[in-house]
Amino acid sequence: MKNLVRTLALSALLAAPVLAQAPPGLTESERRSGAQAHPQILQQFGGAMSGPVADYVRGVGQKIAVQSGGGARATDYTVTLLNSNVNNAFAIPGGYVYITRQLLALMNDEAELAFVMGHEVAHVAARHGQKRQNRAALSNVLAGVAGVLTGSDLIGRGAGVVAGLTTLGYSRDQERQADSLGVRYLVNAGYDPDAATDSLAALGAQTALEARLKGQGGAEPSKWLSTHPPSGERVARMRSEAQAIRTSSRTLNRDAFLNAIDGMIYDDDPAEGVVVGNGFRHGGLALALDAPRGFAIANSPQAVTGSGPGNLKFDLRAADARAADLNSIAGARWQQLGVSAQPMRATRINGVEALEGSIRAGSQAGPVEATLTVYRWSPQLALTLVSIAPQGQLAGVAPVAASVRRLGPQDIASIRSRRIQVVRVGANDTLQSLANRMAYDDDKMARFLTLNQLEASARLKAGDRVKLVTLR
């Protein structure tokens, strides 16, 4: 749950931002809609990163933006590196372009980053966002890309958990056009056009790996939200377009890119909570939660969510307790879930004051049971935990509520972060020896190969630079 304390001051994030100079051809309405959505996006995606790596990304994005034509200037585009652990990049009207640090880490040189930026700039330059808004307001578009805890009526009406890959829902034709324009911008800026193919291949490999790790058989999830063409198709098409371009532009700037991302946080930001195996730890809140074996846990700006075998689900999020008692907080949470307030029972869980209540309801998938647990975590903060399961199976997720507890000083001190570490291949290094250094308990080799866009048959040379994910 990314920075739960931040939930006590969300109003500050919604203050009207200073409007950036609009790219040529964009209307005042587009500028204002983008400026209005910008703070909401920062809220949903963990905020904007700052420092050298953010400056580097901004520079590459603005270098590409000037290639979009129409007299576009670098400062016409607001390029933001998001502190998010999902692989994503997107753009909204008004010249706002975003990339997450997780996707940035997946790239292997500056040219690949430039293509991703070019693709998103193309959405703005081609007015794809405005065309999308002609069919729905931007607020509705943002709501439409939000993931939910489950497909059931009980949760689906009220959850709003941002998850996975998020875009504005462009059509496949618009995505293909953005790919083609991105290649054109890439070449005009002096980069190697083959980087377009490489970046798409990297994304396809990563999404397939993530799906396999989550037990989805390696299938590409939802064909990138059912809007992006499948990665295989995109790679083949972009390879053909890149080969057709006659250019001497072959700049990669690999070393500059690797230098920029070396040391960057990967996966969860420990200051905002981390997923550790089947558990979640938040040092700032001294909070621990554990899930049964087989659960996949995700940490988003809105909640910590989990999904287990047999459609078992849970959702942990924060609530402002300064002006409300636990019963009021419980009633509001039931309302968010789309049901009337249910009777709550006072209890204590691991020494923490709490309320518990349950309900049975129908859903698209059949009858379900849900339990709401509300914890008084501090005078200012409450936690709400929703556990849901098919009828008769709630016991499979019940241990989550019982696991919520306070961390001691030693446990807090032991929380570490995963970071990108760029290393040089030693004379005696092998793929296996390097993969063994990855800070994971499973699939070390697959993670290493995917992160570095390497084949299992690759031969490394001493002195080559590769990326690792290590604990610090």
Is the per-residue pLDDT at 262 higher than 60? yes
Do 430 and 353 sit in the same domain of this protein?
A: no
457-463: average pLDDT: 96
Q: Which of 191-205, 243-257, 258-272 has the highest mean pLDDT?
A: 258-272
CATH number at residue 434: 3.10.350
pLDDT in tens, 17-53: 444 455 555 667 777 888 899 998 998 888 999 999 9
pLDDT score of 151: 31
pLDDT in tens, 369-407: 999 999 999 999 999 999 999 999 999 999 999 999 999
Do 148 and 191 sit in the same domain of this protein?
A: yes
Which tokens sit at 215? 């037990």
Do 198 and 73 sit in the same domain of this protein?
A: yes
Do 153 and 254 sit in the same domain of this protein?
A: yes
- Among the residue ranges 7-16, 79-88, 441-450, the one predicted with the least confidence is 7-16
Q: Are strands 265-266 and 96-100 parallel, antiparallel or unpaired?
A: unpaired
What is d(CA 175, CA 170) in angstroms, rounded to the nearest whole number? 7
* Domain closes at, from 249, 265, 281: 265
* Domain closes at, from 390, 413, 436: 413
Do 261 and 275 sit in the same domain of this protein?
A: no
149-175: average pLDDT: 43
Is the per-residue pLDDT at 259 higher than 80? yes
Question: What is the residue type of 299?
Answer: N
What values do phi and psi take at 105, rounded to 5? -65, -25
CATH number at residue 310: 3.40.1000.10
Which domain range does residue 160 map to? 4-265
What is d(CA 237, CA 89) in angstroms, rounded to the nearest whole number? 20
Is the per-residue pLDDT at 89 higher than 80? yes
Q: Which helix (H) or strand (E) holds 224?
A: helix 222-225
pLDDT in tens, 101-120: 999 999 999 999 999 999 99
What is d(CA 211, CA 200) in angstroms, rounded to the nearest whole number? 17
Q: Checking phi first, is residue 54 left (phi over 0); if not, alpha (psi -120 to 50) or beta?
A: alpha
Do 286 and 336 sit in the same domain of this protein?
A: yes
Do 400 and 437 sit in the same domain of this protein?
A: no
Do 188 and 164 sit in the same domain of this protein?
A: yes
Which tokens sit at 232? 């295989």
Q: Which of 67-76, 82-91, 122-131 has the highest mean pLDDT?
A: 82-91
Do 373 and 433 sit in the same domain of this protein?
A: no
Partners of 382 in beta bridges: 319, 376
Do 409 and 422 sit in the same domain of this protein?
A: no
Buried b (16+ CB within 10 A) or exposed e, 30-48: bbbbbbbbbbbbbbbbbbb
* Domain closes at, from 365, 394, 413: 413
440-447: average pLDDT: 93
Q: How far apart are the first and last CA of the chain?
A: 21
Count of domains forming the chain: 3
Do 319 and 224 sit in the same domain of this protein?
A: no
pTM: 0.80
Do 90 and 189 sit in the same domain of this protein?
A: yes
- Side-chain half-sphere of 472: how many Cα atoms within 13 Å? 15
Give the residue ranges of DSSP H helices in 360-460. Answer: 398-403, 409-413, 431-435, 444-452
